[in-house]
Amino acid sequence: MHSIFHSCFHCIILIAFAALVPTIVHSATLATDTQVLRLLKRSIDPNTIPRSSFLDSWDFKLDPCESSGGQFLGILCSIPSDNSTSRITAIYLDSSGYDGFLTPSIGNLTELTTLDLSRNNFRGPIPDTITDLRKLTTLYLPGNFFTGNIPVGITRLKKLQTLDLSHNSLSGIIPAQLSGLRSLTALRLSHNAFSGKIPSLTGAWQLHTLDLDSNQLYGNLPKFPTSLRTLSLSHNLLSGHLSSLRNLVNLKSLDLSSNRFTGAISHEVLTLPQVVSIDVSVNRLTAIEMTTLSGDTHLQELDVQGNLLRGHLPINLVSLRNLTSINLARNQLSGHIPKVYGAKLGSSWRSLFLDHNFLWGNLPPEFSSSITRIRGSLAKNCLSCPETIRLCHGGQRPASECVGQNDKE
């Protein structure tokens, strides 16, 4: 009897002891990953976390990778096949206007493949620790207020495919080492304050989108990878000739507007085999080389307004059978409007801007009969252009500015 009592007494003690020890709950998410999420939320002004936003759903009484329903929105996790802990693999924050800093602890999410904080109010520098995210394929931070330079170590992110830092307040030079990112397909750095020359990016041989609009870049164009399909360099201080673009055989869209390019638009650029849209407006270009234009090109839109073009309107434009939109306004072109332009108005051309030049003479008859089919303007020339024709609205130059135009024929 004593033995039985003694054994039961020990049972009671063990049960009582067990009641005092807190229950250990297995965490599905690696503790350091959860801590990064805590620090990320803590680095945001709580007054800028709206109700029902993604960050508002981050309730740390729950496990990030085990929660379901409306908790921890914007988080993706790995699902281990064994009993190991889950890891954070993607963060997609909604654009709710979060105001704060990107915590340097972000570098501890070593399984992260995507970081998307776009269209918020993050400020301060991009932390250098972001270069520890060696599995990152998408870094998407546009539409914030990040300042400082691109972290030099970003070139260690060899799996990076998309780098979008556009619409921020970043400065400094564009690192030449970006050319070493062999997996990079899209690089968007527009609407910042980057300066210096554009580095050669030929090493990034899979790059198909390069957008460096609205910075303070200067100098001649470098060599670009032939894989490029979209090249946007508008609103910079770039100069030199356009001939270096002739090897971009995959290019579909080219925007070099509002720079300081000089010389001619070469026929090699106009006849790039895949190009659909060319915008070289507001530069210092003086001619369009039209000698060997072929109708086999895909070019649909050509914008050369606001340059220094002289001479007659290029007749060979009519040989480009896919061309629908032409803007040659605000140049110094003179002479008659070719009769073949009139024929195009009745067929494929849908937009023709020739205003603010020194064109003179009568209009081809189609200009009055096709007024309902075409956008454009013939204003501020020296034409016989009745106001009853919509393209003539805005009037012509005063006679004093047109003196001698006939003599230039």
**For the residues 49-63, what does the mean pLDDT come to?**
96
20 pLDDT more than 50: no
Reference 206, options 266, 173, 162, 152; nearest CA is: 162
Percent of the chain with pLDDT over 70: 90
**What was the pLDDT predicted at 4?**
42
pTM of the predicted model, to two decimals?
0.90
Q: For 373-397, what is each residue's pLDDT tens digit?
A: 789 999 999 999 998 888 999 999 9
Distance (Å, whole) CA 75 – CA 66: 11
Contact 192, 173 (CB under 8 A): no
**What's the mean pLDDT in 230-248?**
96
Single-letter amino acid code for the residue at 265: I
- Residues of the chain above pLDDT 90, percent: 78
The pLDDT, as a whole number, for residue 372 is 59
Segment 19-48 shows an average pLDDT of 80
Q: Model confidence over 300-327: pLDDT tens digits? A: 999 999 999 999 999 989 988 899 999 9
Query: pLDDT for 252-283, tens place per residue?
Result: 999 999 999 999 998 889 989 999 999 999 99
Question: What is the three-state SS of the chain?
Answer: CHHHHHHHHHHHHHHHHHHHCCCCCCCCECHHHHHHHHHHHHCECHHHCCCCCCHHHCCCCCCCCCCCCCCCCCEEECCCCCCCCECEEEEECCCCCCEEECCHHHHHCCCCCEEECCCCEEEEECCHHHHHCCCCCEEECCCCEEEECCCHHHHHCCCCCEEECCCCEEEECCCHHHHHCCCCCEEECCCCEEEECCCCCCCCCCCCEEECCCCEEEECCCCCCCCCCEEECCCCEEEECCHHHHHCCCCCEEECCCCEEEEEECHHHHCCCCCCEEECCCCEEEEECCCCCCCCCCCCEEECCCCCCEECCCHHHHHCCCCCEEECCCCEEEECCCHHHHHHHCCCCCEEECCCCEEEECCCCHHHHCCCCCEEECCCCEECCCCCCHHHCCCCCCHHHHCCCHHHC
pLDDT on residue 370: 56
Map out the domains of the chain with their CATH numbers.
241-408 (3.80.10.10)
Mean pLDDT value across the chain: 90
In this predicted structure, what is the pLDDT of residue 82?
A: 79
Q: Left if phi > 0, otherwise alpha if psi is -120 to 50, otherwise beta: which for 243?
A: alpha
